[in-house]
Amino acid sequence: MALGKENRPHIGIFGKRNNGKSSLINALTGQQTAIVSDVAGTTTDPVKKSIEIKGLGPTILIDTAGIDDIGELGKKRIEKTMGIISQCDLAIFVFTTEVIDQQESDIINEMRDQEIPIIPVCNKSDIFSPTAGFIQRLEALTGNRALLINSLSGSGIEQLTELIKDTLPPDIGKPTTLIGDLINQGDSVLLITPIDNEAPEGRLILPQVQVIRDILDNDGIALICKEREADEYLRKLSPKPALVVTDSQVFLKADAIVPKEIPLTSFSIVLARQKGEFANYLAGTPVISELKDGDRVLMLESCTHQVSCDDIGRVKLPRWMSQFTGKKLEFDVVSGLDKLSRPIHDYALIVQCGGCVITARQLSGRLRPAIKAGIPVTNYGMAIAYMHGIFTRAVAPFTKKTTSGSHYI
C-alpha cells in the first residue's frame, strides 16, 4: 500500500543552538534543505522535510530550534520544539561539548518516558573530540550507541543512516492494512460516502481514499455510493458485499438499510483499529452513559479545517452527546497537535477523531496522558455508534473471530 505522509517515520533533530542540527539535516538529505549559519538561533520554528533514505524509504526529518534559546520569543520556540517530541518515531540528539545540562537530561528522560528511541551524536568532530567517559555517559543516558560525526564534511553520516534504520521500531512506516484482513480476493466492499456541507469540493476525504486504496491493494472491488442510493443498490447487488463501510454521520441510516448478515463499520472505526488505540476506545466508549451534569468532554481534532454549521466534532457530536445523556456537559475542542488549555484531569472523557492525518505514534502520544491518568478515551465513529445503539455491530468486524479463527484485537 502506498504510504501517505502521515505514515512515514518522523525523525526529530534536537540539541542546543549552533550545534549543527540544520547542517545535519542537509547532510542527511544531500541538499541545502535547512538554512545554516554561525548565528545561534537561525532555526526558529520546526521545519519538516520529506526525504528518501536508502533501505528505509520515505521519511520526514524535523529540524527544531535550539533548546537553549533565550528571551520571551526563545521560550516560545522551545515550547514549539518540545511539542515536536510526541510526533517523533526517533530522535537524534546533537552535542558539541561534554556538558549535559539539566534541560538536556530532562528532555532525554521525557523522550525515554514516551518510549522514543534516541541516537546521540557528537557533531563537529574536527574540533570536538569527546572522551570515552563522555561517550559512555551519553549511551547510558539515551540507551543507544553514540556516534561521532561531522555534518559539514559528511564524516559519519553513512554510519548514522545505518543506525537510524537499525534503531527505528520495525513496524514504523510499514504499510498496515485497514480492512484487507476482512476480505478475500474478488470480494466487494460498499462504501457509503455522503456528499454534504463538510465534504471537500471536488474530492473525497482522506479516510475514504485510504480505504479505497486498501481494497484495491488487497484485490477487492470498491463500490461507492451516497446514502440515498445505498438502499436500492444493496437490493440489486449480487453477490452481496463482504463488508459495508459508512461515514459515521449516517451510521443510523446505514444500520437500517444494510442487512444484518452483512458486516457494517465506519471509516473512523477502521482508522481506530489501524492507529492502535482500539482496545482503549472499546473500554472508554461506554463511559458516555456515565457522564454527569457539569462533566467536561475534550474533542480532539487531528486536522485543522474551516468550521461549518454541521461540523462533526464541534457541533454534531456535542449535540448528540448532550441529547443522549440528558446532561449539561461542557465541551472543549483542540485542533491539530496544539497544547491543551486545561489540565487533562479536568476532563471526564476524551473523544479523538479518526486521526487520518497523523501517525499512530502521534495519536498515541496525544492520548497517553489521558490513558495514564485513567481518563476514558473514545473516537468519533465509536462514540456515534454507541449513542445510536449500534456499537456492538459497528465494532464486531474487528472483535469477533473470522472463519479462520483469528482475532483482530
Q: Which domains does the chain have, with CATH numbers?
A: 5-167 (3.40.50.300), 180-271 (3.40.50.11420), 276-387 (3.40.50.11410)
Determine the Cα–Cα distance for residues 131 and 98; give it in Å rounded to an integer. 8
Q: What is the pLDDT of residue 197?
A: 63
Q: Which three cell numbers stand for residue 301?
A: 481534532
148: left (phi over 0), alpha (psi -120 to 50) or beta: beta
Task: Check residue 312 and give its pLDDT.
Answer: 85
Residue indicated by cell numbers 445505498: 230
Please give the angle made by the CA atoms of 395, 256 and 248, to the nearest 5 degrees: 50
Residue 281 · residue 378 · CB < 8 Å: yes
pLDDT at residue 43, as a whole number: 46
197: cell is: 456541507
- Which 3 state secondary structure label does DSSP give 61? strand
Q: In the chain, how many H helices and how many E strands?
A: 14, 14
Q: What is the pLDDT of residue 7?
A: 65
In angstroms, what CA-CA distances link 70 with 16, 76, 208?
11, 9, 45
Task: Tell me the pLDDT of the chain (409 aa) as tens digits.
Answer: 333 455 688 999 999 988 999 889 888 887 665 444 444 444 456 788 888 877 777 888 999 988 888 888 888 888 888 888 888 999 999 999 999 999 899 999 999 988 899 999 999 988 999 999 999 999 999 999 999 999 999 999 999 999 999 998 776 655 578 999 999 999 999 999 998 766 667 788 888 999 999 999 999 999 999 999 999 999 999 999 999 999 988 999 999 999 999 999 999 999 998 887 899 999 999 999 999 999 999 999 887 555 454 688 889 999 999 999 999 999 999 987 777 889 999 999 999 998 877 778 888 888 988 999 999 999 999 999 999 999 999 999 998 743 333 334 4
Strand, coil or helix: 67: coil
The burial of 92, by beta-carbon neighbours within 10 Å (0-12 exposed, 13-18 middle, 19 or more buried), is given as: buried
Cell of 208: 475514504
- Per-residue pLDDT, 404: 38
Cα gap 396→263, rounded to integer Å: 8
Which region, left, alpha or beta, applies to residue 249 given φ > 0 means left and ψ of -120 to 50 means alpha?
A: alpha
Q: How far is CA 60 from CA 7, 47, 102, 118, in A?
A: 10, 10, 28, 16
Q: For 187, what's the count of Cα atoms within 13 Å in the CB-facing half-sphere?
A: 20
pLDDT at residue 74 in the model = 81
User: What integer pLDDT is reported at residue 33 of this predicted model?
Assistant: 54
pLDDT recorded at residue 71: 81
DSSP strand pairing (57-63 vs 47-53)? antiparallel
Say if residue 159 is exposed, middle or buried (CB neighbours under 10 Å; 0-12, 13-18, 19+). middle
- For residue 304, what pLDDT is reported? 59
- DSSP β-bridge partners for residue 90: 11
CA 62-300-357 angle, to 5 degrees, is 45
What pLDDT sits at residue 111?
Answer: 92
Q: Is 243 exposed, middle or buried (0-12, 13-18, 19+ CB in 10 A)?
A: buried
Identify the pLDDT of residue 355.
Answer: 83
